[in-house]
Amino acid sequence: MTGKRIRTGAVLAVGALAAAGLAFAPTAVAVTPQSATITADCGAFGGGEATLTATQDGTAATLTLTSTAITAPIALAQDSITSTLTLVKATGGTTAFTGTKNPAMAAGDPVTVGPLSGTVASGDSLETYGGSLTMTVFGITITCTATGPQSPGPFVFD
C-alpha cells in the first residue's frame, strides 16, 4: 500500500511540475497579419500584385515576397539575388530586411525572394507603401515600389 501511495504522489508531483512548466513557458510571438498583398511597380522590369509573408521569433523577423505578375527576366541560380526590402514604420523611420535567398528561376518564372532577415521591436507596425524592394542581379539593380498601402494592413509585431 505504501508503494502505491508513493507512486500516486510521484505522478501527482510530475503532473504539477508539467502544469507549472506550461504556465511559465514563453508564449510564441506572432506577427499579424502573417501575409499581405501589395501592388508593385518595378519600372521597365514590370509590376503587379505580390504577396509578402512574415514570420517572427523574438526580435528576429523574416519577410518573403512572391509574385506571379513580376517575372524573372533571365534564368537565375538559387541564392543569386541580393535583396533589400525597406518598410516604413508607423512611428517614423524604416526597417530593412536583407538577404540573398531565392529559389532557382527560369526566364519568365514568377519571382520569389526571401526569406529576408530583419530586426523588429515589440509593437513595430511596418508598411510597404513608401518603402521599396531593391534586387541586384548580375550587377543590375531593380527597384520596386508599392503603388498603395498593403492589404489587409501593416505588419504588427508582438
C-alpha distance from residue 79 to each of 39, 51, 54, 140 (Å):
24, 19, 19, 15
The per-residue pLDDT for range 71-98, each reduced to its tens digit, is 888 899 999 999 999 999 999 999 999 9
pTM of this prediction?
A: 0.80
pLDDT at position 23, please? Answer: 39
Distance CA(58)–CA(31), nearest Å, equals: 10
